[in-house]
A and B are shown apart, each in its own frame.
Chain A
Amino acid sequence: MEEKFEPKIIAFLCKWCSSAGSDLAGVSRMKYPPNVVPITVMCSGSISPNYILSAFKDGADGVLVSGCHPGDCHYIKGNYYARRRITLVKELLEFIGIEPERFQMSWVSAAEGAKYTEIIKDFVKELEPLGPQNKLRSNL
């Protein structure tokens, strides 16, 4: 039998909201697919496009960037800056022919464990039909 494709997701989560949200999902024993490797960063505003590209280069099938809801950023404005920057990254990736489903952004607060699990579930579902991401994968 052919092995089922298990997409690998790299999730950049801000420490104050999204990462706390994912913790909540964990301690509340909510079920979600184990396909995600979370990386906690201080703020969504600290995520450089380099991080995103290098995740794809190292074999991520999908990348998620998640921060606090607008107005809730621990550093007041970080997520607003992120929103602009990530828009540009997203547009550029689509422009060069990367499937739009592969790169997503979300707002997840510390209380939204359930939302986090939904996002991951949907993300995995969307990635499955696409198969592995080889376009940007390192060919060194």
Chain B
Amino acid sequence: MVKLDDIKKECKSILEEGKVKYIVGYKRNNNYYMSIPAFIEKIEETDQLIWDPTCVYNLVRFLRDEKLRKERQKTPDTRPIGVIVKGCDSRAINVLLQEKFIKRENVYIIGVACEKSGVIEKKKLRKKFNEKNIKQIEFGKDNNFIITTEKGKTTISAEEILAERCIECNNNTPVIYDVLLGEKVERSLSEHFRSLEKFESISTEEKWNFWKKELDKCIRCYACRSVCPMCYCDECIADSISLAVKPDTTAEEKAQKIRWVEKSPVSSENFSYHLIRALHLAGRCIDCGECERVCPVDIPLRYLNKKMEKEASEQFGYTAGLDPEKPALVSDFKDDDPQDFII
């Protein structure tokens, strides 16, 4: 397991050398057992850093904020920012590089290997514990988790509260980094697409009933979109303006804009939003699970993206975020791509 001291040491040294402007990592939430994102600028602040199974956030999301901030500043500090990434998160960086949204020199990547563990899933945790009583969750030996409650410490086997996506993950080691902490260990806890199995045996109507019930709950808070490192479009079809208005956008252009999705949280609009989002993330989603985690009404969004991931992998042999030099899934084709369904 990666030692917290190693993370702190690395962060201290790059801050000391002035290599980075600041570092995005994890720190403790003062009132809660979860971690929260930490923005570390000063050497002494590195003591706040933590590394535990509650480090769920995909911090790559914040590279977009940094980019916007720089665009607004007249004389921006052009040094890179440091970011702590897990295996899945690192692939998000590759996607952003592939799409030329960021440059490699904009970011200093501190890769942390999950080895045989991963992060927790709150939904699973809640089934076993009263969240209010939890004080802390730590990595234990043999890939177990140690949970501290008011009553003391309990050890719980990883699979019981490990995020489903971690169980299915086969990129437990970062694929791009400036420094890698922890060890590269092979592991395959389970089938890569096991969570989709339950959809294979159900009928069309059952599928529809499932998704209708789930997506009708959506309140269109767009937390799923806001948290996603890949949802960086200036112009999202779901926004009421739905075009990036720049000073040189003409009145004509504004008037001609089509409204694909209305803001109303009704069934048809919710489906449009989520289907388009899933399609736009096909070949880009790296299954960090953030969208599903943040949804306030517990919509299992991950299945949509996972389904696209599965088709990309099985039909086109493509996995998102492995190689920034290769063309993206939908900007590429092979002569012999499957076409059995085409008449």
Which residues in window 256-288 of B have CB below 8 A to A? 260, 262, 264, 266-269, 271-272, 275-276, 278-279, 282
Given A95-B207, A96-B208, the answer on whether A53 and B266 have CB atoms closer than 8 Å is no
B206 / chain A contacts, CB cutoff of 8 Å: 97
Interface size class of B (residues with CB under 8 A): 35 or more
Which one of A8-16, A24-32, A34-42, A77-85 is at the B interface?
A77-85
Would A50 and B304 count as touching, CB distance under 8 A? Answer: no
Residue B338, interface by CB 8 Å: yes
The smallest C-beta distance from A55 to any residue of chain B, in angstroms, reads 12
Residue B62, interface by CB 8 Å: no
Would A91 and B311 count as touching, CB distance under 8 A? Answer: yes
Find the residue from B262, B272, B315, B332 having the highest chain A CB count within 10 A: B272
Would B333 and A119 count as touching, CB distance under 8 A? Answer: no
Residue B32, interface by CB 8 Å: no
Residue A125, interface by CB 8 Å: no
Would B269 and A92 count as touching, CB distance under 8 A? Answer: no
Query: What residue in chain A is nearest B303 (Cβ atoms)?
Result: A95
Residue A89, interface by CB 8 Å: yes
Q: Which of A49, A77, A105 contacts B342 (CB 8 A)?
A: A105
Residue A74, interface by CB 8 Å: no
The smallest C-beta distance from A46 to any residue of chain B, in angstroms, reads 13
What is the size, in residues, of chain A's interface with B at 8 Å between Cβ atoms?
38
Would B343 and A80 count as touching, CB distance under 8 A? Answer: no
Residue B307, interface by CB 8 Å: yes
Residue B211, interface by CB 8 Å: yes
Q: Helix, strand, loop or mixed for chain B's interface?
A: helix
Residue A99, interface by CB 8 Å: yes
B154 / chain A contacts, CB cutoff of 8 Å: none
> Bound complex: CA of A2 vs CA of B30, how far in Å?
67
Would B282 and A83 count as touching, CB distance under 8 A? Answer: no
Residue B329, interface by CB 8 Å: yes
Would A84 and B279 count as touching, CB distance under 8 A? Answer: no
B315 / chain A contacts, CB cutoff of 8 Å: 87
Would B272 and A92 count as touching, CB distance under 8 A? Answer: no
A90 / chain B contacts, CB cutoff of 8 Å: 341
Would A140 and B279 count as touching, CB distance under 8 A? Answer: no
Query: What residue in chain A is nearest B314 (Cβ atoms)?
Result: A91
Would A84 and B211 count as touching, CB distance under 8 A? Answer: no
Write out, one digit per residue, whether chain A residues 53-75 have a CB within 8 A of any chain B CB (1) or not (0). Answer: 11001000000000000100000
> Bound complex: CA of A91 vs CA of B340, how far in Å?
13
Q: Which of B204, B264, B282, B329 contacts A140 (CB 8 A)?
A: B264
> Bound complex: CA of A42 vs CA of B209, how far in Å?
37
Which residues in window 197-218 of B have CB below 8 A to A? 199, 204-212
Residue B237, interface by CB 8 Å: yes
> Bound complex: CA of A107 vs CA of B181, how far in Å?
52
Given A96-B211, A106-B342, the answer on whether A140 and B337 have CB atoms closer than 8 Å is no
B343 / chain A contacts, CB cutoff of 8 Å: 104-107, 119, 122
Would A85 and B304 count as touching, CB distance under 8 A? Answer: no
The smallest C-beta distance from B164 to any residue of chain A, in angstroms, reads 17
Given A92-B278, A140-B266, the answer on whether A97 and B337 have CB atoms closer than 8 Å is no
Given A49-B279, A139-B266, the answer on whether A88 and B272 have CB atoms closer than 8 Å is no
Given A83-B333, A105-B341, the answer on whether A135 and B208 have CB atoms closer than 8 Å is yes
The smallest C-beta distance from A61 to any residue of chain B, in angstroms, reads 15
> Bound complex: CA of A93 vs CA of B332, how far in Å?
22
Query: What residue in chain A is nearest B203 (Cβ atoms)?
Result: A97
Residue B193, interface by CB 8 Å: no
The smallest C-beta distance from B199 to any residue of chain A, in angstroms, reads 7
Nearest 3 CB-CB pairings of A with B: A97-B208, A97-B207, A80-B333
Give the interface of B toward A (CB within 8 A). 199, 204-212, 237, 260, 262, 264, 266-269, 271-272, 275-276, 278-279, 282, 304, 307-308, 311-312, 315-316, 329-333, 335, 337-339, 341-343
10 contacts between A and B (CB under 8 A): A50-B276, A70-B339, A83-B333, A87-B337, A87-B341, A89-B279, A97-B204, A97-B206, A97-B207, A138-B268
Give the interface of A toward B (CB within 8 A). 49-50, 53-54, 57, 70, 77, 80-81, 83-85, 87-100, 104-107, 119, 122, 135-140
Q: Known contacts A50-B237, A80-B337, A84-B316; can you find 5 more A-B pairs with CB under 8 A?
A: A53-B271, A91-B311, A96-B208, A100-B204, A105-B343
